[in-house]
Structure 1
Amino acid sequence: MKIIEVTSKEHQHEFLMLPVRLYKNEPYWIRPLDKDVEAVFDREKNKTFQHGESIRWILQNESGETIGRIAAFVNQKTVKKGNDQPTGGLGFFECVQDQQAAFMLFDAAKKWLQDRGMEAMDGPINFGNRDRWWGLLIEGYDREPNYQCNYNFSYYKDFFEAYGFQVYFYQLTFGRPIEGPLDDRLYEKASLVEQNPDYSFGYLPKSQWDTLPTKIKDVYNRAWAKRGEIPELTEAQARHLVKQMKPIMDEKLLWFGYYKDEPIAFFLSLPEVNQIFKHVKGKLDALGKLKFVWHSFRKTNKKAFGLLFGVVPEHQGKGVDGAIIEAFRKMAHAKGFAYEHYEMNWIGDFNPKMIRVVEQINAPVVKRHATYRKLFDESKPFKRMPIVG
């Protein structure tokens, strides 16, 4: 077997096509858009290259057939933030059911990271924002993945754990129909907030979308970025995020909570566009765009998913979380709402407060991803992601 660094168009093609061959008989796998995967490794499109570097490889057998792939990353903004040691990452791992092949890929990533001073590696993760390509699917193989979320074979878990990776944290996905009641506790909390005229909640109309990047950045950094290793979101990153989302955004899925007209909470969702992209076979070319427009016009997608949810610290524990969800629920139950199913993505098990909130909307866990960590010094005690809040 031979490890080959991806340096040519031919290598890039093999990197993209390997999962197409591996998952051809998997009914729930949805092929990611080629352009989304390639954007991660494009210095012009991925701003993380401003403070980091990445590399990717394919693995070929003696016959020249590609049987595995992997990428490794160093993001200087997160190398030491919240960590006891410099920590890099790996991602985009795919492999045939061969432990020796998997370990060759892990070894390549480990050596590259060690050469750059790393003492641990997390995986599978993204070279960039946590909202995509993050975590190994370990439960929920009978459900289709949401947009830019990982779907993988169950045997990958065995590879990671046999190599010495340990679970750093779990990411939970909760799901439920749009219709149906919420927990009584949530109604009670929401009613307390609703009685205070200083609080208000509403979706962001399209006419105000120019304010969306600043609103996201302000709430995100106050609610999340001061916790552990989560990096702050810059204005440029927020603008880039909104630019990426804009073609599919629905104003009725972009909710904010305000205190005296200042944004203090967000509940941001998107149409689950994998329900449309599964028809384009990874290619958003002219035909793919035509299919996308057709399905969008016909409103064939009945599923929405949660992107970001947070309340700034000084307003936590006051029922704001329940109030913003209840405001959304009232609107969603009105006639003409386009969606029937809802999933809340990426809720870490290190955030019990958020888990309790989601449990109050009567949504069970439908998928579980694991973010693993491998300490290169195995004598060093392993620590899981600290609990927040």
Structure 2
Amino acid sequence: MGEITVAPVADKAGRKQFTDLAYRLNADDPNWVPPLRSEAAELVDPAKNPFFQHADVQLFLARRDGRVVGRISAHIDRLALEMPVEQGFGPGCGQWGLLEAEDEAVCHALIAAAEQWLRDQGMTRVLAPISLSIWEEPGLLTLGHDHPPMVMMGHDKPQYQPWIEALGYEAAKMLRTFDLDVRVEYPKLIQRIIASGEKNDKIRIRKVDKSRFDEEAALILDILNDAWSGNWGFVPITDAEVAHTGKKLKPLVFEDLIRVAEYEGEPVAFMMTLPDLNRPIKEIGGKLFPFGWIKLLRWLRHPYPADMRVPLMGVRKHLQSSRLASQLAFMMIEYIRREAVVKYGSKRGEIGWILDDNQGMNAIAEAIDATVNREYTIYGKALVG
């Protein structure tokens, strides 16, 4: 085998090679869902991804005998540096992500290059993989390789885990997704909690209003930043990131699948549910042209049948750990479940990711008989020398 060289990506052509590699290395994995080419390119484009507005990013490509055999990103999120150390990030903490490698030697060479770049920027420790933001695809898939991911979730080769751990990386946090059969009614106790909430005149569970998209997005962002502010790994979402994500997700926004809970007229919680876009994307192989866009547009007009994922939910901090918080969560889940089954022909639902030590959300998932179907591990390591 030839010598491995790792070099920084410095131009558009390099970014294209960086993007293209994932499609080649994962082509033989039946459970890998190829992202849309345009979105994969946009992710690593400083002119199009607002993450670059508050982060320093360096992409690397590995070559053997002139052939591209691996890739990695090294990055420092300046907003993450401002967070408390006890919440995961904090001063001196860099990240790497977007790892793809043909073999273990390539993997190790890439990680070494990323670590050295972080050291050169003054970082003393690393959390990885995070690709690129904590709000995008954090963690390495370490459970659930036997089925494809739902929309906005990552999928990694199983061999990456031992390769990474061999370099001294240790688990810092586990992220879980929960799977459930949405056709099955919830246990009687949960039904009574929901029925009680429906009799409470102070509670209102409403659909979002897509005609006021920007206003509703701002409201959800406000609740989210408040609700998640004490969580491990939290980094505030910027207005530019909300606008960017909102533009991408708007075609997936269906008013009956995203709910806002109001208590005494105040919006205090939300739940976002998205139809699983990965299903049609997998069918078109991530290619919009020449005819993929027709199939995708047809599906987006009426996604049926469509399984569902709950990527985000939150309850304002002053209500967390209260009975009301759980009641609102159960009510939103149930209202969305009914719509998903009747209007979208849903069979499965997925909730997460959820931190492994988030007792409240784990308890809610278990109460509705959801089971863990995927786990993602975020690793940590001190950068010494």
Instruction: Give the TM-score normalised by structure 1.
Output: 0.89
Is this contact kept in 1: 2:140–2:378, CA < 8 A?
yes
The counterpart of 1:341, out of the listed 345, 348, 364, is 348
1:259 aligns with 2:263: yes
The counterpart of 1:37, out of the listed 37, 40, 47, is 40
Query: Which amino acid in the other structure matches residue 24 of structure 1?
Result: A
Query: Which amino acid in the other structure matches residue 108 of structure 1?
Result: A
Distance 1:297 1:91, change over 3 A: same
Q: How does 1:35-184 map to 2 (within 5 A)?
A: 35-62=38-65, 64-83=66-85, 85-98=91-104, 100-128=105-133, 130-184=134-188
Aligned mates of 1:328, 1:158 — CA distance in 2 = 37
Name the Cα RMSD after superposition. Answer: 2.2
Q: How does 1:192-211 map to 2 (within 5 A)?
A: 192-211=196-215
Identity %: 25
Aligned mates of 2:198, 2:108 — CA distance in 1 = 55
- In the alignment, which residue of structure 2 is the partner of 1:235? 239
Is this contact kept in 1: 2:251–2:300, CA < 8 A?
no
Listed one character per residue, the Cα deviations across residues 103-151 of structure 1 (whole Å, up to 9, x for unaligned) are 11011000101111111111110233x3322110011111111223211
Aligned mates of 1:188, 1:117 — CA distance in 2 = 55
Distance 1:249 1:87, change over 3 A: same
Aligned mates of 2:67, 2:261 — CA distance in 1 = 53
Is this contact kept in 2: 1:67–1:95, CA < 8 A?
yes
- In the alignment, which residue of structure 2 is the partner of 1:268? 272
Aligned mates of 2:44, 2:187 — CA distance in 1 = 44
Query: Which amino acid in the other structure matches residue 277 of structure 1?
Result: I
Task: Give the superposition deviation at 1:330.
Answer: 4.3
- In the alignment, which residue of structure 1 is the partner of 2:364? 357
The counterpart of 1:295, out of the listed 293, 299, 306, is 299
Query: Which amino acid in the other structure matches residue 245 of structure 2?
Result: L
Question: Where do 5+ consecutive residues of structure 1 fail to align?
Answer: 379-389
- In the alignment, which residue of structure 1 is the partner of 2:286? 282
Query: Which amino acid in the other structure matches residue 65 of structure 1?
Result: R
Distance 1:262 1:241, change over 3 A: farther
Aligned mates of 2:173, 2:336 — CA distance in 1 = 34
Query: Which amino acid in the other structure matches residue 13 of structure 1?
Result: K
Distance 1:85 1:239, change over 3 A: closer
Distance 1:218 1:85, change over 3 A: closer
Question: Where do 5+ consecutive residues of structure 2 fail to align?
Answer: none
Listed one character per residue, the Cα deviations across residues 45-75 of structure 1 (whole Å, up to 9, x for unaligned) are 222222221011111112x222211011111
Distance 1:337 1:133, change over 3 A: same
Task: Give the superposition deviation at 1:9.
Answer: 4.0
Task: Give the superposition deviation at 1:94.
Answer: 0.7
Query: Which amino acid in the other structure matches residue 117 of structure 2?
Result: W
Distance 1:298 1:195, change over 3 A: closer
2:291 match: secondary structure: helix
- In the alignment, which residue of structure 1 is the partner of 2:323? 318
Aligned mates of 1:228, 1:320 — CA distance in 2 = 20
- In the alignment, which residue of structure 2 is the partner of 1:381? none
Distance 1:210 1:27, change over 3 A: same
Distance 1:96 1:248, change over 3 A: same
Query: Which amino acid in the other structure matches residue 98 of structure 2?
Result: F
Task: Give the superposition deviation at 1:327.
Answer: 4.4
1:366 aligns with 2:373: yes
Aligned mates of 1:331, 1:78 — CA distance in 2 = 33
Listed one character per residue, the Cα deviations across residues 220-245 of structure 1 (whole Å, up to 9, x for unaligned) are 12111244551223334333322221
2:10 match: secondary structure: coil
Instruction: Give the TM-score normalised by structure 2.
Output: 0.90
Aligned mates of 1:46, 1:274 — CA distance in 2 = 21
